[in-house]
Amino acid sequence: MAVERGFQSEHLTAGSVGPLVVVSYRGGTKAELEQLDAFQAQLVAKHGRIASMSLMDNVNSMVRMDEETRKFSAELAQKYAKTNIGGAIVVRTRGIGAVIARTSLSAVFLVTQNGVEMKVFKAIDEGLTWLRSLPAPNPLEGLSVTAADIEAFVKL
């Protein structure tokens, strides 16, 4: 099942398969997150509940996010807390930097209470399995998207 492109900017590529939001991050600005907000709002209006998968290929660009953008990102998580069943964060890079990034992100999610359950993974299929395991009503029930579908979307 193909991931349909929602929008693409310098740092973000966002798409969806039904109620699953897929975002590939290479950094980001507040204006780009505002585009993502509008895109997610359309999906919530259409499906009622969503799930999200965020793909990070360059963790350093996320670390350098300015404070205004970081704050807005946290506000978006709060905004969608009631309609987003969970967010899988996939850190796709390899090596010690990726291990440190996954560990750091996991620690942040343990102490940050934004209302959306978030979990960090090293592979797309692990993230999809976890999202599908979340309790009902789970909007991904019956959705046949695969890791290969998401990989194909990211490569476009």
Ordered by start, the domain boundaries in the chain are: 4-155
Question: Strands, DSSP E only, in the chain?
Answer: 4-8, 12-17, 20-25, 50-56, 84-91, 118-121
Tens digit of each residue's pLDDT, the chain (156 residues):
899 999 999 989 999 999 999 999 887 889 999 999 999 999 999 999 999 998 987 655 555 667 888 788 888 888 998 999 988 989 876 655 555 554 555 444 444 455 678 888 989 999 999 999 998 889 999 999 999 999 999 886
Residue-level pLDDT at 93: 66
Residue 15 amino acid letter:
G
pTM comes to 0.85
Question: What are the tokens at 91?
Answer: 């850190």
